[in-house]
Structure 1
Amino acid sequence: MAPSTTTPAGVAPVKVTVTPADGARGVEPAASVTVSATGGQVRDVVVTDRSGAHVPGTVKDGAWTPQRRLGLDSTYSVRSVVSLSDGTSQTASSSFRTLKPATTAKYTLLPSDDTVGVGMPAIVQLASAVKTPQQRAEVERNVEITTVPAVEGSWGWLDDRQLMWRPKDY
């Protein structure tokens, strides 16, 4: 199914290209959505999930980037608005589905109550080994720690299954 568009009467439609393409499957959850227009200017891009909820993100130069990774094995709809030279606008709509992973990471948080004191690290205990530097970097990018008050800290690997976060200063 090609992206659907709505163009004002009497105005030649512009060519709008949305990436990922309409109906795409297996899209990487960290992917951005790019909208380009030949003969028009991309003004807005809105991405919604299956329930119609707006997915937070930013638009710059026609590329919408999510504030957080999109969900796995999820369907998203894209609606873009393109300004035409005569001051009117054209919309384009499409949808895509993110990838369904062959395996997923299983983990436990230590301590299990999710709250630690100043001397206790927060530890993510993974069920399977994370062996390569690339895999470890990917895990670190996708795990988030929130401290109250805000505290600077960093990740460190105890072994190939335990990722630990400690504050910079005691």
Structure 2
Amino acid sequence: MEFMKYEGEWYVWALVAISILFVLLMPKKNLTWVGIFITFVFSAGLTWTFDTMSMSTFNLFDLAKKISIELSDAFLIGFVPASIATIFVNFYNRKKAWMFALVFTLLCFILEFGLVQFGYMKNNSWNTWYGIPVYFIIFKFFFPWFYELTFKTMNKNTNEGEFI
């Protein structure tokens, strides 16, 4: 197995390392380690499901090598979006919901744009800017709902900001 054999692979490994380190070292606001685990695993599963459909069923984009899933693809799909979702849920504040949605939408767009610019991701029937409304819906509606459903209702007797 060759390491760093694809164009832009260094960018993927940098994203993976930074996102994992950030999740491990971030101050725990809304989540404890159990909440981080739940959010991370749930988000990783969703990402695998939707990215697999996008790549194989609809052929919207290719990562590194079209024929197979490479180790860097697996780490990119499995860790980076799940880390971003976990960071979002951990720091989410209902009073600043619009700001959170806009900042995280912009962050995801920039990271995806970097994948394309560094040559790791090739768009087929997709343009990078198509992700903006998708990211916005995820961060404005889906993850706030997930946070409220999963963590606010699990333990109603805790103080604000002290959830699983």
TM normalised by structure 1 equals 0.24
Which protein shows a greater Rg?
A: 1
